[in-house]
């Protein structure tokens, strides 16, 4: 198996230490970040002609895009256009969906994510996912964070791993005195940040977020958006959102998906209409369909 998907712990530890220091001092250290290579943008995913079938139904077709490191990439489009299907391709979550088949290629840090030598468990450790509805385990706050690192046999002091993840998710101050209490006692917004902390605990370098704020109130949503802006300094983020203001506020790049309808065959297939810098998508898109969608005329 590839080195990148197996032994990146040292790199991750270095990155996390860097992040921790930044939060501890609360002043960003751009010179250090540059030295650590964090600001140097490079493609993290190279997606080529990806199509996904569920049984005989083709849900998305021919998706191609490059996703940049240390950026927030938003996936927008009407319901059913395949945003969730696509984001699940990026950490092989569709492997777990019955009858799903992924064709095409996704290259992650220069290697084929779907190569026969790649371990999907390692993939999901490096490419974490946060779902729409906060889904903490019915356990203590501490155990929610410690679970993942234990499962993958992460070395190190567990108290430190837990603290570090909670700090990075901007949740430490609110939880440090109640680590042993049940996570279900937290507010919805706190639970979602706990899920983000849980994803960060296994030291990923990509965070996939599938409508992470759709169950949250505006204040909690704002906190998650602020957190995303902080996290992109150290991680790459892909977010599915039905909230166009959110995409415009937080993302660097936006992909607009739509549903193509084949009237004769009565099939609906998702496809990318336009993928570009977020400002351009929202102010001067190339495609009329994008314009209609972002101006609210359709969707």
Q: In this structure, are residues 12 and 206 in contact, taking their beta carbons and an 8 Å threshold?
A: no
* Residue 43 or 80 having the CB closest to ligand ADP: 80
Least separation in angstroms between CB 7 and ligand ADP = 33
CA pseudo-torsion sign 17, 207, 27, 25: negative
Give buried/exposed letters for 126-163 (b at 16+ CB in 10 A, else e).
Answer: bbbbbbbebebeeebbbbbbbebbeeeebeeeeeebbb
Least separation in angstroms between CB 18 and ligand ADP = 34
Least separation in angstroms between CB 81 and ligand ADP = 4
Least separation in angstroms between CB 161 and ligand ADP = 32
* Residue 82 or 148 having the CB closest to ligand ADP: 82
* Residue 148 or 299 having the CB closest to ligand ADP: 299
* Residue 72 or 240 having the CB closest to ligand ADP: 240
Q: Which residues contact 63 (CB under 8 A, 6 or more apart)?
A: 47, 49, 50, 51, 82, 86, 104, 271, 272
* Residue 25 or 79 having the CB closest to ligand ADP: 79
Least separation in angstroms between CB 94 and ligand ADP = 8
Phi and psi torsions of 121, nearest 5°: -65, -40
Residues in touch with ligand ADP (CB under 6 A):
54, 59, 77, 79-85, 97, 268, 270
Reported in sequence order, the residue ranges of the chain that DSSP labels E, i.e. its strands, are: 43-54, 57-68, 72-76, 100-108, 111-112, 127-130, 206-210, 236-240, 253-262, 267-277
């Amino acid at each position: 198996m590839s080195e990148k998907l197996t032994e990146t712990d040292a790199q991750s530890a270095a990155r996390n230490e860097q992040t921790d220091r930044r939060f501890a001092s609360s002043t960003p250290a751009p010179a250090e970040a540059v030295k650590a290579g964090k600001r140097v943008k490079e493609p993290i995913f190279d997606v080529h002609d990806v199509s996904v079938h569920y049984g005989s139904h083709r849900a998305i077709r021919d998706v191609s895009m490059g996703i940049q490191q240390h950026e927030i990439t938003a996936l927008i489009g009407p319901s059913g256009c395949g945003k969730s299907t696509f984001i699940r391709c990026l950490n092989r979550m569709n492997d777990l969906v019955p009858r799903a088949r992924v064709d095409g290629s996704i290259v992650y840090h220069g290697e084929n994510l779907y190569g026969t030598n790649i371990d999907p468990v390692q993939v999901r450790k490096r490419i974490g996912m946060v779902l729409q509805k906060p889904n903490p385990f019915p356990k203590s706050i501490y155990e929610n964070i410690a679970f993942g690192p234990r499962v993958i046999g992460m070395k190190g002091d567990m108290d430190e791993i837990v603290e570090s993840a909670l700090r990075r998710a901007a949740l430490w101050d609110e939880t440090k005195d109640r680590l042993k209490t049940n996570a279900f006692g937290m507010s919805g917004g706190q639970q979602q940040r706990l899920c983000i902390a849980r994803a960060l605990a296994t030291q990923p370098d990509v965070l996939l977020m599938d409508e992470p704020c759709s169950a949250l109130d505006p204040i909690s949503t704002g906190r998650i958006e602020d957190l995303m802006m902080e996290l992109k300094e150290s991680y790459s983020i892909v977010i599915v959102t039905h909230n166009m203001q959110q995409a415009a506020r937080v993302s660097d790049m936006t992909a607009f998906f739509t549903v193509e309808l084949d009237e004769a065959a009565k099939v609906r297939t998702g496809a990318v209409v336009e993928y570009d810098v977020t400002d351009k998508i929202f102010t001067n898109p190339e495609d009329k369909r994008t314009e209609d969608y972002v101006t609210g005329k359709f969707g």
